[in-house]
Amino acid sequence: MKIVIGNDHAAVALKMEIMEYVKSLGHEVINIGTDSIERCDYPVFGEQAGRAVTSGDADCGILICGTGVGMAIAANKVKGVRAGVCSDTATARLMKEHNNANILTFGARIVGPELAKDIVKTYLEAEFLGGRHQGRIDMFWEIEKGK
């Protein structure tokens, strides 16, 4: 799988660790985040990741900022993105199984490296269940179309 990973200044160290971990799982990584601890604007990276996923340049995305919330808000502004903030493995699994989330976000100030790895692995291994959940995904599309 090709995974776009983005971050802001609050998450440089964790992003580096997660990138290496994702590569160790056999995935390709597209790094769009900052590698500097100098203040930057996370909406830029949230949008870039969202566009990479919706264009098909990436299969899914992982975004990390201080809390994960700002990145999720930014990414969700891109039509077709379903980003969710996650700080536990149960949510990571369910956001893929039920919501077919295409971007995972979490906070470097909220979760530590080992939990972050568990969250990422769980998310990447989970599969959308379809069925009754597909109807809800279709409803998301209707909302985006303004109906």
Active site residues: 65, 98
| Phi, then psi, of 80 in degrees rounded to 5 | 100, -10
| Residue appearing with tokens 């990138």 | 19
* DSSP-assigned letter for residue 47: H
> How many Å apart are CA 33 and CA 9, to the nearest integer?
9
Token pair for residue 78?
């891109």
The set of residues, in sequence order, having a beta carbon less than 8 Å from that of 138 and lying 6+ positions away, is none
Q: What do you get for the CA distance between the two ends of the chain, in Å?
A: 33
Token pair for residue 47?
């949008």
Q: Is 58 exposed, middle or buried (0-12, 13-18, 19+ CB in 10 A)?
A: buried
